[in-house]
Structure 1
Amino acid sequence: MLPHRDDAACPARGFYTYEAFLAAARAFPAFGATGSAAARKREVAAFLAHTSHETSGGPYYSWGYCYKEVKGAPSDDDHCVPSARWPCASNKTYHARGPMQISYNYNYGAAGEAIGADLLGDPDAVTADPVVAFRTALWLWMTPRAPAQPSCHAVATGRWAPTPADRAAGRRPAFGLTTSILTGGLQCAATSGRVAFYKRYCDVLGASYGPSLDCAGQAPFDGVIRSAAQY
């Protein structure tokens, strides 16, 4: 499924293992286990599509999971915003790391609290421990970040029902909406890479694609952007 994951050209070679993925998934038992068999396959395909896109190391859609952190990290931007609840630690940066490229102190803090790790004090744990890395990605996937905003899990498994306001905004419970959620709508005009990864994984898993693969024309939810996908 990931033939180039351990390629010599991938800086993360040897890091993202199937065993680490399964260990992380055990902390989120609803992942890949909700709804019909087809819905479960599509959810796994959607998760792998987004994480592969975020960590891709090549031009083709089998090159996912090549990077542990955003290319060029660290940079002058520490991705720290003032927060009483999630204060930044001295000499730490909260740039994009892991399969879903978690970024900013408020996301590291909330994810760490959820998975039982001090990611504010030790954000490098995401690039040092593959189980922690996958847990941050799954936390981003499974967790809604605003009262009116569903999780990607709820969308991918058909557990989210759009309100009249959602329908008026063009939002549909399909793969395209997960892109809007993860990127705050900032990549809805350029989703071809994510869609191509998604189709590839659906084909591998024997799942139909479903409708609405992109989010063009959808109004984004109000809320916090959770990944580094906008970079």
Structure 2
Amino acid sequence: MIAIGWLGLGLCLDVSIKRASLRPVPRQGTLALAMAAFSASYCLSLLSFIFFFSSGILLCTEARRLSLCSQVSKELFDKIFLHKDDNACPAKNFYTYDSFLNASKFFPKFGATGSSETRKREVAAFLAQISHETTGGWATAPDGPYAWGLCFKEEVSPQSNYCDSTNKEWPCYPGKSYKGRGPIQLSWNFNYGPAGKALGFDGLRNPEIVANNSLIAFKTALWFWMTEQKPKPSCHDVMVGRYVPTEADIAANRTAGYGLVTNIINGGLECGIPNDGRVSDRIGYFKRYVELFNVDTGPNLDCENQKSY
């Protein structure tokens, strides 16, 4: 399509130049000039279209994420996050589609493992979980409570500075808060430290960068999603069918599915509790998104019968 567009542009420019160079004739001069002006305007419009269309293709190619691009177009991304750039959202204009795609190139297996249905379900699960973590929705919100993901970029009024002083491998830096930041609301020094090491920033001395840099924010969310932290499996492995439960997992009823992903992310506070509202919110986002991706949810949506890690 782009090649055809460039060919069309070349032809219309050739015609425009020839028309513009015609020697004016008293009775036809005005008409010739009008035709030349129209041709030039048409060419500029065509050039704008080609630039807009090809820039999106180049972004996908550059990021080597053609599979993810085909699953999550800019149009679908905007449909999923209907209100992320509203004035009511503190993270307005922070979480961009380009940052999401560019972050994904550091994790080539994300959204690229298994069947087409499996890939779409994994991406839907990831987007649903980060939507809950950053939600600005409420029961009677416009377009429903599950259209308000990516509304916040950092935790508001944190209960503590999230420093585990017993962790000597990733010691807290004086005066720093390791509160929730970014799409996954990365929290605690023992997450900021290894995330920074893996992604090339100092997570202990400069945790604020997760709320100040959109690309790094998405990279931390994908790092958490893709990284196994024993005894927890990675969220990725759970959603693509590579999770192999241990005897302890079986005894704790930690069965594969979206509910286990919730357990990995925040099971200590949300799992093993009947009808927990936070779990229901995560499920609500997931159900909306799988419908947009035209796939089913898979089994085991909640974690009320699972023991946390």
Per the TM superposition, whether the score is higher than 0.5 is yes
- Where structure 1 has 5 or more consecutive residues not aligned to the other structure, the ranges are 222-231
CA distance in 2, matches of 1:112, 1:78: 18
CA distance in 1, matches of 2:102, 2:187: 22
Shift of 1:121: 1.1
Corresponding position of 1:140: 224
1:211 to 2:211 alignment: no
Tell me which of 151, 159, 164 is aligned to 2:234.
Answer: 151
Shift of 1:6: 0.3
- Where structure 2 has 5 or more consecutive residues not aligned to the other structure, the ranges are 1-79, 139-144
Corresponding position of 1:126: 210
Q: How has the CA–CA distance of structure 1 residues 164 and 121 changed in structure 2, closer, same or farther, with 3 Å as cutoff?
A: closer
Corresponding position of 1:71: 156
Q: Aligned ranges for residues 41-190 of structure 1 at < 5 Å?
A: 41-59=120-138, 60-73=145-158, 77-82=160-165, 83-146=167-230, 148-188=231-271, 189=273, 190=276
| 8 Å contact kept, 1:61–1:197 | yes
- TM-score, length of structure 2 as denominator length: 0.68
Q: How many residues align?
A: 218
Which protein, 1 or 2, shows the higher relative CO under an 8 Å CA cutoff with sep ≥ 6? 1
Q: Aligned ranges for residues 185-204 of structure 1 at < 5 Å?
A: 185-188=268-271, 189=273, 190=276, 191-204=279-292
Q: Secondary structure at the match of 2:269?
A: coil
Q: Could you tell me which amino acid in structure 1 is paired with residue 252 of structure 2?
A: A
Shift of 1:140: 1.0
Q: Secondary structure at the match of 1:124?
A: helix
Q: Counting helix residues as a fraction of each chain, which structure ranks higher? A: 2
> Please, what is the CA RMSD of the aligned residues?
1.3
Corresponding position of 2:117: 38
Shift of 1:89: 1.8
Q: Secondary structure at the match of 1:61?
A: helix
Q: Could you tell me which amino acid in structure 2 is paired with residue 150 of structure 1?
A: P
Q: Could you tell me which amino acid in structure 2 is paired with residue 187 of structure 1?
A: E
Shift of 1:78: 1.8
Q: Secondary structure at the match of 1:88?
A: coil
CA distance in 2, matches of 1:26, 1:117: 17
Rg larger for: 2
CA distance in 2, matches of 1:107, 1:163: 24
Shift of 1:58: 1.5
CA deviations 1:144-173 (Å, max 9, x no partner) are 111x42111000111112245433321211
| 8 Å contact kept, 1:179–1:185 | no
Which runs of at least 4 in structure 1 moved beyond 3 Å after TM superposition?
none
CA distance in 1, matches of 2:150, 2:193: 24
Corresponding position of 2:13: none
CA distance in 2, matches of 1:11, 1:123: 19
| 8 Å contact kept, 1:156–1:174 | yes
CA distance in 1, matches of 2:125, 2:287: 9
Q: Could you tell me which amino acid in structure 1 is paired with residue 207 of structure 2?
A: P
Q: Could you tell me which amino acid in structure 1 is paired with residue 171 of structure 2?
A: P
Corresponding position of 1:224: none
